[in-house]
Structure 1
Amino acid sequence: MKPLHARYPFLRAAREAVEAADIDLARVVSRNEEVRTRALDRIETALDSGEIGSPHRRDRVELLSYPVARVLVSLIDEHVLTRKYARAEAATAYDRLQAEFTETTELKSRNRDSLSIQTVLAEFDMTDAVRETADGYAVGVGTYLEYATEERDDEWRLVNRPLENGDVELSESELLVLVQQAIRQRVTDGLPLSVPDVIAAELEAECERIRERLADLELTRDIDTVVPDLFPPCMTYLLDQVQKGEHLEHHSRFAIATFLTTIGMTTDEIVDLFEVNPGFGEEATRYQVDHIRGKTSPTEYSPPACSTMQSYGDCVNMDELCEEISHPLAYYEAKLDDADEEELIDWREQNAASES
């Protein structure tokens, strides 16, 4: 096992090295506490900071912690965890590759165990789609679209990129962003894994710790986009009931109001939505919404978890994604992440356009 494999454990060569060593993963999990600890650290750091933490001083431990981390993610089997973990692995790889490619020639000569950008492109079958130019690289538009869809900044929209003869012009740093997305896809590929019971039993304590971390995780950071078409089925149903003027029980009104405040809707916007509801009173509704958002109370309330929604009978019309998550906000965040740019038209922008 080489240091290169420990730095980039998603490489085919790294997987082959593990297979060639005929390593028994159950034995590793049961007897190697260092590997279990580092695997847990990869996941916890991914949740906390979007990276995977400092590498272990021993290459063998660092490399083996990667498949064990994937096993832990599979045992938890929560969409939000899988996504955040894969992104963290890819983000760390991006930083390492960028540092490696900007090393001086002298440093590279001292470290023969390194990657070239050509090797990386070959790893992800991108060689034929990428060619070097005088100013950087040209990437086939099909490959560009495949890997650039996760990038939300306007600069990544195809209409804003130089396009010539079916190729998109990119700098080396931008090309590595596409590679980062290819890495994310590879890390995610195959998850969740089928985990033998004997391994699952050995990792029970680590799984419980991750579940506790997920329960405490602030799922709502940076969500400030209102796209009703991407709402979880429960919130879509409650909002539809509001719009139809149907009577909602207190727990149902609380659920939809906390959801809407949390994703960035103002009190005025929510009051306007509730105006058609029977028994609507603007002053009372405004007070309740301000109370929920913490403006007139010491507590800023969060939407109920899926288990609470189920207990009150507000969990309706479940779909496949509902089976993978434990909170309506996790559902919405996942939908936003997976949506195409054209789908992310904020409800507020649509209203403003229709009124003008």
Structure 2
Amino acid sequence: MQRLHARYPFLEAARESVANEAVDLGTVVQRDPAVVERATQRVITALEEGRTGEPAHETRTELLSYPVARVLVSMVDEQVLVRKYARAEAATAHDRFVEDLESTTELKSVESTGLDLSDLLREFDLETAIERRGDDAFRIDVGTYLPLAEDLWGDEWRLVNRALTDGAVPVDEEELHTLLREAIRSRIEDGLPFEVPGAIADELEAEAAEIRDVLADLELTREIDTVVPELFPPCMKALLDRIQKGEHLPHHSRFAITAFLASIGMTTDEIVDLYRVNSSFGEEMTRYQTDHIRGETSPTEYSPPSCATMQSYGDCVNKDDLCEQIPHPMAYYEERIDDADDEEIEDWREGRGESASAE
């Protein structure tokens, strides 16, 4: 049973198993470097790859790495990390349970490593809310569907686009698996971050510092070469809209949108073309300012302002739910890009001639 819990550490039974064995995390982080190493890898791989990495060979190490990883996430105490970590754990669990569900009865052992659909439905108290209507067809009560689908991007998840009948929403098997992944993500995210006892925090400070460094690099310097205005943060959407209406932007607003567009892969020529609609447009000055922000004619490549700075200048507008959970416009855009399907991105890019200038 411990192998099952190590494979699916979010299960209530896994938590109870650790509690029943009276495992002292303080002792673990002091005396078990393999657990700490795997926990750190869990969090860093979640940030870099959106999954939690290869499991440890030893079941106990894998099982205990999960609560230690949650401690590390809590120590760093950044909402963007909480979200990314929870999504990565949920994505890993999704990969595993889909594999389990596709396995034949002969190949699967629920006692060792596998889950079946009824296990998952029971785990989240969904047995009465979800009804099977065929091999690949299910119905889910609308009151259960809405909270599970609320963080899913894409118009197909909006209730207005679903066939609602007798208080239930029809979903196919793949959609049901996605909703179960969201149930797992919500459980993992719940309670994070929490207060970490000082003795444990002291032992894990080096690992937490390593994660902070990785997070800082990913948030502000990760190369994003996809330009999809539909996925821009609301503040940048608003500034882009003002440019395209020919409005004259104050210097701080102009800097913010130019730095943002440069950071997501637009060339100087493409950015300059955006400003041509402005009656006071001067190509030479616009090109100089853009190259300066890009670091072409200056020793520094400038990052877009943080959310706090955008707020102080009055450029933080039309905030949505995701805005409440991220510290930087680039982090917002990265989340949206990560959540979008490759096909959707390609359709948007083709429809816009590969850049925002096609608007």
The residue aligned with 2:19 is 19
Q: Is the 8 A contact 1:147 1:178 kept in 2?
A: yes
**3-state DSSP class of the match of 1:132?**
strand
Measure, in 2, the Cα distance between the counterparts of 1:260 and 1:331.
14
Measure, in 2, the Cα distance between the counterparts of 1:181 and 1:62.
22
Q: Is the 8 A contact 1:72 1:207 kept in 2?
A: yes
The alpha-carbon distance between structure 1 residues 145 and 22, as it changes in their structure 2 partners (threshold 3 A), is same
Q: Is the 8 A contact 1:138 1:168 kept in 2?
A: yes
Q: Is the 8 A contact 1:79 1:334 kept in 2?
A: no
The residue aligned with 1:181 is 182
The residue aligned with 1:79 is 79
The alpha-carbon distance between structure 1 residues 184 and 95, as it changes in their structure 2 partners (threshold 3 A), is same
The residue aligned with 1:342 is none
**3-state DSSP class of the match of 2:140?**
strand
Q: How does 1:312-331 map to 2 (within 5 A)?
A: 315-316=312-313, 327-331=328-332
C-alpha displacement of 1:291: 6.1
The alpha-carbon distance between structure 1 residues 236 and 167, as it changes in their structure 2 partners (threshold 3 A), is closer
Measure, in 2, the Cα distance between the counterparts of 1:133 and 1:258.
51
Q: Pick the aligned partner of 1:226 from 200, 220, 229.
A: 229
- Of all paired residues, the percent bearing the same amino acid is 47
C-alpha displacement of 1:2: 1.2
Deviations 1:230-274 (A, max 9, x none): 4469x979998998747537xx74343112343577866666558
Measure, in 2, the Cα distance between the counterparts of 1:111 and 1:176.
22
Q: Is the 8 A contact 1:87 1:184 kept in 2?
A: yes
C-alpha displacement of 1:115: 2.0
The residue aligned with 2:95 is 95
C-alpha displacement of 1:53: 0.7
C-alpha displacement of 1:35: 0.8
Q: TM-score, normalised by structure 2?
A: 0.76
Q: Which amino acid aligns with 1:63?
A: L
C-alpha displacement of 1:36: 0.5
Q: How does 1:157-306 map to 2 (within 5 A)?
A: 157-217=158-218, 218-219=221-222, 221=224, 224-226=227-229, 230-231=233-234, 245=248, 248=251, 253-263=254-264, 272=274, 280-289=281-290, 292=293, 301-304=301-304, 306=306
Q: Does 56-65 or 218-227 show the bigger shift?
A: 218-227
Measure, in 1, the Cα distance between the counterparts of 2:276 and 2:200.
51
Deviations 1:171-228 (A, max 9, x none): 3232111000011111100111111111111111101111111122155637634369
Is 1:138 matched up with 2:139? Answer: yes
**3-state DSSP class of the match of 2:82?**
helix
**3-state DSSP class of the match of 1:115?**
coil
Measure, in 2, the Cα distance between the counterparts of 1:3 and 1:316.
53
Deviations 1:120-150 (A, max 9, x none): 1111121111011124321122322222233
**3-state DSSP class of the match of 1:168?**
strand
Measure, in 1, the Cα distance between the counterparts of 2:67 and 2:279.
52
The alpha-carbon distance between structure 1 residues 11 and 199, as it changes in their structure 2 partners (threshold 3 A), is same
**3-state DSSP class of the match of 1:10?**
coil
Q: Is the 8 A contact 2:256 2:305 kept in 1?
A: no
Q: Is the 8 A contact 1:259 1:302 kept in 2?
A: no
Structure 2 residue ranges without an equivalent (≥5): 340-347, 353-358
Q: Is the 8 A contact 1:305 1:326 kept in 2?
A: no
Measure, in 1, the Cα distance between the counterparts of 2:115 and 2:64.
20
Measure, in 2, the Cα distance between the counterparts of 1:95 and 1:182.
14
The residue aligned with 2:43 is 43
Q: Does 142-151 or 70-79 show the bigger shift?
A: 142-151
Is 1:116 matched up with 2:119? Answer: no
C-alpha displacement of 1:161: 4.0
C-alpha displacement of 1:166: 2.8
Structure 1 residue ranges without an equivalent (≥5): 339-345, 350-355
C-alpha displacement of 1:18: 1.1
Q: Does 125-134 or 158-167 show the bigger shift?
A: 158-167
C-alpha displacement of 1:101: 0.9
Measure, in 2, the Cα distance between the counterparts of 1:23 and 1:111.
22
C-alpha displacement of 1:74: 0.9
Is 1:54 matched up with 2:57? Answer: no
Q: Is the 8 A contact 2:40 2:207 kept in 1?
A: yes
Provide the aligned C-alpha RMSD in A: 4.2
Measure, in 1, the Cα distance between the counterparts of 2:240 and 2:174.
45
Q: Which amino acid aligns with 2:131?
A: R
Measure, in 1, the Cα distance between the counterparts of 2:121 and 2:263.
41
Measure, in 1, the Cα distance between the counterparts of 2:21 and 2:328.
41
